[in-house]
């Protein structure tokens, strides 16, 4: 009875996302140049903004978007080894540190100049530099941001991420051509959420998904440092008082799972069925999640935000993109 009650609100939206994913896979047989992942998100966007925008679908599509991508990231660990991660090299790590520092500094400064309060500027900086809504959710309690402030910034970050998700893959192809690491660095180093990285990289090819996620996971690992520094800044400026309570470790569980499976895959010679099965399941999880992302993309939200919010998002997105391109070229990634 418990499982039935738990799944009842999830099933409508989840089954719709799965149906769109299946349709995208079948359509990809006729349009192989686009691929199932690209078609899934495009079909989702079309259907979500025309036919399927009923509130009853929201819980299931949210589950498919977030949970399935998290499981997919964990399974990705079976297809990656330390040797794969090593291909990022020290230049890849320096790139992540540079881009995160630039985005945090720039987003905070622009936000304050545009009249946003310090808490909103900090959440915008952390959300764009690390991992979107997840980072904002970890930063908000550390700096005592209220739910309204958090909700506004989450909406803005997601809108910005959506625009970048649909444009950066094509910019990466035009600038970097067949260079896998450079395209992966651009997407994994800038896009806000895990879902947006997977979706954007899927518009190119599966290899780009794998390497873009390595850059993305490196950013997420630094979340604990960002939360710590932001909390200390908030305390120094009087936004919050020092807290003695023990806080939850902010690194998401699926990053820990990815690293665990990556360690196992690196230390032991696992049967081929492990990586093949993980890849098959992960691909279906990704495609269903991308369909859900498309179904949840409401263009009406773009029209509801005021010009000041949209200017903030556009400014930060432009800064992220230009800084990433500059660092990629300077570091010769």
Which long-range contacts (C-beta less than 8 Å, at least 24 apart) are formed by 155-159? 155/301, 155/305, 156/124, 156/305, 156/309, 156/312, 156/313, 157/124, 157/127, 157/128, 157/132, 157/133, 157/192, 157/313, 158/132, 158/133, 158/192, 158/193, 159/301, 159/302, 159/305, 159/310, 159/313
- Of 65, 321, 95, the residue nearest 214 (C-alpha): 95
CA-wise closest residue to 23 among 5, 41, 11: 41
Q: Which two tokens stand for residue 175?
A: 């600038």
pLDDT for the residue 98: 97
> Is residue 93 pLDDT above 80, yes or no?
yes
Place of tokens 């180093």: 189
pLDDT > 70 in the chain, percent: 93
How crowded is residue 93: how many other Cβ atoms within 10 Å of its Cβ? Answer: 12
CA distance linking residue 309 with residue 314, whole number of Å:
9
Q: What does the pLDDT read at residue 249?
A: 58
- Over range 286-311, report the average pLDDT: 79
pLDDT for 16 equals: 95
Angle between helices 11-30 and 58-76 (to 10 degrees): 60
- Per residue in 112-126, pLDDT (tens digit) is 999 999 999 999 999
On the question of pLDDT at 155 being above 80, the answer is no
- The predicted structure's pLDDT at residue 2: 46
Q: What is the pLDDT of residues 230-252, one digit of tens each?
A: 988 888 887 776 655 455 556 67
Distance (Å, whole) CA 85 – CA 130: 19
User: pLDDT averaged over the chain?
Assistant: 85
- Across the range 198-219, mean pLDDT stands at 88
Q: Which of 54-63, 126-135, 143-152 has the lowest mean pLDDT?
A: 143-152
Predicted TM-score (pTM) of this structure: 0.77
Across the chain, the runs of DSSP E, i.e. the strands, are: none
Query: pLDDT band at 190, cuts 50/70/90?
Result: very high
Task: Check residues 310 and 6 and name the one with the higher pLDDT.
Answer: 310
């Amino acid at each position: 009875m418990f499982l039935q009650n738990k799944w009842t609100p999830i099933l409508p939206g989840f089954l719709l996302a799965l149906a769109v994913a299946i349709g995208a896979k079948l359509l990809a047989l006729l349009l192989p140049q686009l691929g199932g992942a690209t078609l899934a998100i495009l079909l989702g966007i079309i259907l979500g903004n025309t036919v399927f925008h009923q509130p009853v679908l929201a819980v299931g599509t949210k589950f498919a978007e977030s949970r399935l991508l998290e499981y997919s990231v964990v399974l990705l660990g079976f297809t990656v080894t330390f040797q794969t991660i090593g291909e990022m090299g020290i230049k890849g790590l320096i790139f992540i540190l540079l881009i995160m520092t630039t985005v945090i500094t720039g987003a905070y400064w622009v936000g304050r100049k545009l009249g946003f309060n310090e808490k909103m500027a900090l959440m915008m900086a952390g959300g764009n530099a690390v991992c979107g809504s997840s980072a904002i959710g970890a930063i908000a309690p550390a700096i005592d941001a209220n739910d309204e402030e958090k909700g506004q910034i989450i909406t803005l970050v997601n809108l910005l991420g959506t625009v970048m998700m649909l444009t950066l893959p094509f910019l990466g192809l035009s600038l970097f051509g067949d260079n896998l690491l450079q395209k992966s660095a651009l997407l994994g180093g800038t896009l806000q959420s895990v879902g947006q990285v997977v979706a954007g990289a899927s518009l190119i090819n599966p290899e780009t998904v794998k390497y873009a996620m390595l850059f993305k996971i490196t950013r997420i690992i630094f979340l604990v440092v960002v939360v710590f520094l932001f909390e200390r800044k908030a305390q120094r400026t009087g936004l919050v008082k020092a807290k003695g309570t023990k806080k939850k470790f902010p690194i998401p569980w699926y990053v820990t799972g990815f690293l665990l499976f990556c360690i196992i895959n690196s230390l032991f010679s696992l049967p081929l069925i492990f990586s093949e099965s993980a890849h098959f399941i992960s691909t279906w999880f990704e495609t269903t999640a991308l369909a859900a992302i498309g179904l949840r993309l409401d263009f009406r939200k773009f029209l509801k935000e005021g010009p000041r919010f949209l200017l903030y998002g556009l400014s930060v997105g432009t800064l992220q993109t230009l800084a990433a391109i500059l660092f990629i070229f300077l570091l010769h990634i």
